[in-house]
Chains A and B, each alone.
Chain A
Amino acid sequence: MMPAFESVIGLEVHAQLRTASKIFCGCSTTFGAEANAHVCPVCLGLPGALPVLNGAAVRMAVLAGLATGCDIAETSVFARKNYFYPDLPKGYQISQADAPICRHGHLDIQTQGGIRRARILRIHLEEDAGKSIHGATAAATTRIDLNRAGVPLIEIVGEPDLRTPEEAADYLRELRAILVCLGVCDGNMEEGSLRCDANVSVRPLGQETLGTRCEIKNINSFRGVRDAVAYEIERQVALVRAGASVVQQTRLWNADLGRTEAMRSKEEAHDYRYFPDPDLLPLVLLRADIELLRAQLPELPAAQRQRLQRDFGLPPAQALALTEDPLRLAAWEAALGQRPDANRALALANFLLTQVQAALGRSQRSASDVRAAMPMLAQLCDRWRAGDLSNKMLAEVLQGAFGDSQPLATALAQQLAQAGAVVSDVAALEAAVDEVLARAQPQVQRYRAGHTQVLGFFVGQVMKALAGKGNAAKVQEILKARLDG
């Protein structure tokens, strides 16, 4: 009988800091510019160019450390991490090795079994590399874009405290929420603003020592973390059960094929030959400045969730979803206005998290557009709840307005005006109901025989006859009166 296995997971997360300029030069960090538009002698690594540290990046790293309960180092040291790669202009990356800016923090994550604390080993500052754009074939030319070279990153190195793929995904989600809430990272995983490597090992349940680990790279979504870790656990357990052993290696997550693939073994691992970068003096922070930043910390997602559940009775799922993004939360709070009524709070949360999120996802608009148009969106939601707008009308208004190029509030007002009003006139509704019932005698028989679920069919037919603009509640009322009467 083989023992049960426990998996041990630790995440290394790279977060791109939202500074206007790069970490060691004045070049812009804007994403999506023409290749090599944002470069200068420093980030190109030209002979004689020297790095000068961007204070904004330091402040953001300290905020991230404070928000995750880290000790902030009064002295930290930049080091050179040496390796050759075409998109690494200097042949070394400026990072931090022995003396990172933050140490010994933690992250509390919500799991089904309650709150679990995962320790953070360290957070350090470093520069990003550029991007290699490979041709279609192996023989084709590779082109280099150095716009990203020198963009500031923090790497948040977690201790191996996570035990399941779901915990790993929850950890990443919580970390993202905190960084986005602090305003230090935009959290955009598709654009690579947040990247995750996972260290995974397995061991027989009850064993103290850790198993041999593999590092999985190239994970770029929450689902990716969960799936990659789950796949890797399964792979390692199968190996051990088969009497083989896990080989320490770096593996790549292939999201298309849903599997991890060997990249390089421990023997091929780089010797980065770290040493303190003599071009940069040790980074010295004054205790008073650290405390000043601590005083600037906003309400963090965990506290926000508690408040939402306590003050508005929101269910945990909605509270979690709202606090994933400060703009979303701000939008919801703006919609609430001066009337904190629990039913409306929940309805607005659902409206925002489902209909509005869906419309936003299909459009080119941003979360800040939503935030700006929130009074109008709240009005829309209220009218829909009051029955002044049908589901179909609501969907059309949202789709039309989000697809429009005008400011969202203006577009919403316009769409709303065009949508007109629901048909609430009792005579008109009764006429439509009678017509539908007259045409559907077999269904009427079935309803009267006790198959009351047919009611939905009648509602649908009446709404169709009214071009989707019938007052759904009233239609239902009339139908029931006719059928039951």
Chain B
Amino acid sequence: MTAHTATVTGCAAAFAAGEVSAVAATQAALARIAALDGSLNSHLHVDAQGALATAAQLDRDRAAGRALGPLSGVPISLKDNLAAIGMPMTAGSRMLHGYQPPFDATVTARLKAAGAVLIGKTNLDEFAMGSSSESSAFGCVHNPWDLNRVPGGSSGGSAAAVAAGLVAAALGTDTGGSIRQPAALCGIVGLKPTYGRVSRYGAVAYASSLDQIGPLTRTVRDAARLLQVISGADARDSTCAAAPVPDFEAALTRDVRGLRLGVPREYLDDAQGLDPAVRAAVQAALHVLEDHGAVLVPVALPHTRFCIATYYLIATAEASANLARYDGVRFGHRAVPQAGDGIDDLYAKSRAEGFGAEVKRRILLGTFALSAGYHDAYYKKACQVRRLIHDELLAALQTCDALAGPTSPVPAWPIGGKSENPLEMYLMDVFTLSANLAGLPGLSLPLPLHPSGLPIGLQLLGRPFDEATLLRIGDAYTSFSATDLLRPPWGAAP
């Protein structure tokens, strides 16, 4: 096994069996980053020293016969909007350039406790606002399947790093598809858990009612392993649920017989702007599952067409408040004061200099949506529509065990291809937004490659707190289709 093909479960097993040391696994990851990340720009920070120190300690623990964790010896990176002591946290923004968080995110602490070797922080759209990882203040991320194309976003650094085999897995955040869409565009597995399944403590907030942290991995089993580690109640996050956490790996039976798989017409037959080859690939995947005993059920979700408008009102409204703390007063970028500047000048200049165009656009949109005179027509109306979208999905999931469709309407597009047209970019989120608006779990799985040779993804949506069923279907599908073995040709030789 090489770092290029290593999986989380494979790495952990090899370490536990004494076949590989944690230091060797870490060095292999660091070597691939050193060799390849100049082309990908997937990492904003690599903590070689910290990672090697952790690995050496793990090797000593193993030698001493101490109990190992489920992720012991596995190199993992964090999206750079997740706090980890000792590493900077920029959220992809000039605003937080040089900022060092003084505490670990709950997910960071849980990964550490499980024995993970934290390699570094991955690149992202600024404050996780974007679908292409081009709005990072520190340069765009390149897709390892075609370096001239975007990896998707906003967790594009995490997706590219895992797809290129720099690390075995990475965590991302998903507010409107930011884990699932880049996973699809990079040919890997991405899971957005149910809202409340994973603590948000220590994740830089974009839209608090929509944000969830989740894994990007090569296999469904890896996603199950990571979800197991990061899930569960947290006294530091009031929105994190006390729901019991089942054994996710135990659910991977590969038996899909009798499972009812809803196929929303709005996601497939009636979908606007859906690439025909993507549609065909999704249909083929559904037939694979049908062949193995799943039951396909036609479903109608007429409110789907309101998802984009609803999302871009609610997410931006919450963002306008969440990003108010970046004012240059206590931390982050502060403009150099000019003679005669007052406090309002300090705010205006610091924020004008610190934030990029997309972040400013969303703050303005959200501020407008909440303003007196517009609040009812925009924010309040959006909340009402959100409820309808939620109810409609929940009703469909009463009769279906999961819903299926494409993750992204198209494969990865060329860098710069949509960045001049924000609205066209927003349309890329059409299939992923409903899971966030309804708080449902969503899983993106690699489909067989698109005729262009680029990866594309199948999305499954499930009932609240029923990630287990999604993982079970996903594990079955990827084993039947062997799509979790797809690797980009680029970077294959270390």
Q: Footprint of B on A, CB under 8 Å?
A: 41, 44-53, 80, 82, 84, 86, 89-92, 142, 144, 271, 273-275, 277-281
Is the CB–CB distance between A51 and B238 below 8 Å? Answer: yes
Closest to A279 in B: B208
Closest to B235 in A: A52
Complex Cα gap A273–B321 (Å): 9
Known: A47-B91, A273-B375, A279-B208. A91 touches B238 (CB 8 A): no
Closest to B373 in A: A271
Is the CB–CB distance between A82 and B200 below 8 Å? Answer: no
Complex Cα gap A47–B203 (Å): 7
10 contacts between A and B (CB under 8 A): A48-B202, A50-B201, A50-B237, A82-B320, A89-B329, A92-B321, A142-B343, A271-B372, A275-B318, A275-B321
How many B residues face the partner with a CB closer than 8 A? 44
Known: A92-B321, A281-B239. A48 touches B329 (CB 8 A): no
Is the CB–CB distance between A52 and B238 below 8 Å? Answer: yes
Given contacts A41-B103, A49-B201, 10 further A-B contacts (CB under 8 A): A47-B96, A47-B99, A48-B89, A48-B105, A52-B238, A86-B329, A89-B330, A271-B372, A275-B379, A281-B239
Complex Cα gap A49–B205 (Å): 9
Closest to A270 in B: B372
Distance to closest chain A CB from B73 (angstroms): 27
Is the CB–CB distance between B367 and A273 below 8 Å? Answer: yes
Distance to closest chain A CB from B446 (angstroms): 31
Distance to closest chain B CB from A361 (angstroms): 39
Q: Is there a chain A Cβ closer than 8 Å to B377's Cβ?
A: no
Is the CB–CB distance between A92 and B324 below 8 Å? Answer: yes
Is the CB–CB distance between A48 and B83 below 8 Å? Answer: yes
Known: A41-B102, A271-B372, A279-B238. A48 touches B320 (CB 8 A): no
Complex Cα gap A44–B101 (Å): 12
- Interface SS of chain B: helix, strand, loop or mixed? loop
Distance to closest chain B CB from A321 (angstroms): 44
Closest to B342 in A: A138
Q: Which residues of A contact B367 (CB under 8 A)?
A: 273
One of A50, A90, A281 near B325 (C-beta < 8 A): A90
One of B201, B317, B327, B372 near A275 (C-beta < 8 A): B317
Q: Which residues of A contact B320 (CB under 8 A)?
A: 82, 273
Known: A47-B83, A273-B370. A52 touches B236 (CB 8 A): yes
Known: A52-B236, A275-B321, A275-B379. A44 touches B99 (CB 8 A): no
Known: A46-B101, A47-B89, A273-B370. A84 touches B324 (CB 8 A): yes
Q: Which residues of B contact A274 (CB under 8 A)?
A: 370
Complex Cα gap A142–B346 (Å): 13
One of A52, A84, A278 near B208 (C-beta < 8 A): A278
Complex Cα gap A279–B234 (Å): 13
Q: Which residues of B237-259 have CB atoms within 8 Å of chain A's CB atoms?
A: 237-239
Known: A82-B320, A91-B324. A278 touches B239 (CB 8 A): yes
Q: Which residues of A contact B325 (CB under 8 A)?
A: 45, 47, 89-91
Is the CB–CB distance between B91 and A271 below 8 Å? Answer: no
Q: Which residues of B195-246 have CB atoms within 8 Å of chain A's CB atoms?
A: 200-205, 207-209, 235-239
Q: Which residues of A contact B371 (CB under 8 A)?
A: 271, 273
Complex Cα gap A275–B317 (Å): 9
Is the CB–CB distance between A91 and B235 below 8 Å? Answer: no
Q: Which residues of B contact A44 (CB under 8 A)?
A: 330
Q: Which residues of A contact B89 (CB under 8 A)?
A: 47-48
The 3 lowest CB-CB distance pairs between A and B, nearest first, are A91-B324, A278-B209, A273-B370
Q: Which residues of B279-328 have CB atoms within 8 Å of chain A's CB atoms?
A: 317-318, 320-321, 323-325, 327
Distance to closest chain B CB from A103 (angstroms): 21
Q: Which residues of B contact A51 (CB under 8 A)?
A: 238
Q: Is there a chain A Cβ closer than 8 Å to B490's Cβ?
A: no
Complex Cα gap A415–B317 (Å): 68
Complex Cα gap A48–B204 (Å): 4
Distance to closest chain A CB from B242 (angstroms): 12
Q: Is there a chain A Cβ closer than 8 Å to B480's Cβ?
A: no
Complex Cα gap A422–B304 (Å): 95
Q: Is there a chain A Cβ closer than 8 Å to B138's Cβ?
A: no
Is the CB–CB distance between B201 and A280 below 8 Å? Answer: no
Q: Footprint of A on B, CB under 8 Å?
A: 82-83, 89, 91, 96, 99, 101-103, 105, 200-205, 207-209, 235-239, 317-318, 320-321, 323-325, 327, 329-331, 343-344, 347, 367, 370-372, 375, 379
Is the CB–CB distance between B238 and A53 below 8 Å? Answer: yes
Complex Cα gap A273–B364 (Å): 13
Distance to closest chain A CB from B51 (angstroms): 22
Is the CB–CB distance between B238 and A281 below 8 Å? Answer: yes
Distance to closest chain B CB from A325 (angstroms): 36
Q: Which residues of B contact A50 (CB under 8 A)?
A: 200-201, 236-239
Distance to closest chain B CB from A148 (angstroms): 15
Closest to B195 in A: A278
Is the CB–CB distance between B239 and A82 below 8 Å? Answer: no
Is the CB–CB distance between B321 and A82 below 8 Å? Answer: yes
Distance to closest chain A CB from B276 (angstroms): 38
Known: A41-B103, A273-B375, A278-B208. A48 touches B324 (CB 8 A): no
Is the CB–CB distance between A80 and B239 below 8 Å? Answer: no
Distance to closest chain B CB from A287 (angstroms): 22
Distance to closest chain B CB from A56 (angstroms): 16
Is the CB–CB distance between A90 and B324 below 8 Å? Answer: yes
Complex Cα gap A142–B96 (Å): 23
One of B239, B324, B329 near A144 (C-beta < 8 A): B329
Q: Which residues of A contact B375 (CB under 8 A)?
A: 273, 275
Complex Cα gap A144–B346 (Å): 15
Q: Which residues of B contact A84 (CB under 8 A)?
A: 324, 327, 344, 347
Q: Which residues of A contact B96 (CB under 8 A)?
A: 47
Distance to closest chain A CB from B129 (angstroms): 14
Closest to B91 in A: A47
Distance to closest chain B CB from A224 (angstroms): 28
Closest to A90 in B: B325
Distance to closest chain B CB from A220 (angstroms): 24
Complex Cα gap A53–B375 (Å): 27
Complex Cα gap A144–B329 (Å): 9
Q: Which residues of A contact B343 (CB under 8 A)?
A: 86, 142
Closest to A280 in B: B238
Is the CB–CB distance between B201 and A91 below 8 Å? Answer: no
Q: Which residues of B contact A89 (CB under 8 A)?
A: 325, 329-330
Is the CB–CB distance between A91 and B239 below 8 Å? Answer: no
Q: Which residues of A contact B203 (CB under 8 A)?
A: 48
Distance to closest chain A CB from B92 (angstroms): 12
Distance to closest chain A CB from B207 (angstroms): 8
Complex Cα gap A49–B203 (Å): 8
Closest to B332 in A: A47
Q: Which residues of B contact A47 (CB under 8 A)?
A: 83, 89, 91, 96, 99, 101, 204-205, 325
Distance to closest chain A CB from B139 (angstroms): 21
Complex Cα gap A280–B208 (Å): 10
Complex Cα gap A278–B330 (Å): 24
Q: Which residues of B contact A86 (CB under 8 A)?
A: 327, 329, 343
Q: Which residues of A contact B329 (CB under 8 A)?
A: 86, 89, 144
Q: Which residues of B contact A273 (CB under 8 A)?
A: 320-321, 367, 370-372, 375
Which of A92, A142, A144 has the most chain B CB within a 10 Å cutoff? A92
Q: Which residues of A contact B372 (CB under 8 A)?
A: 271, 273
Known: A47-B89, A48-B201, A273-B371. A279 touches B99 (CB 8 A): no
One of B101, B318, B330, B347 near A48 (C-beta < 8 A): B101
Closest to A144 in B: B329
Distance to closest chain B CB from A286 (angstroms): 17
Closest to A25 in B: B236
Q: Which residues of A contact B205 (CB under 8 A)?
A: 47-48, 279
Distance to closest chain A CB from B235 (angstroms): 7
Complex Cα gap A273–B96 (Å): 26
Distance to closest chain A CB from B327 (angstroms): 6
Is the CB–CB distance between B321 and A91 below 8 Å? Answer: yes
Complex Cα gap A278–B317 (Å): 11
Closest to B375 in A: A273
Closest to A52 in B: B238
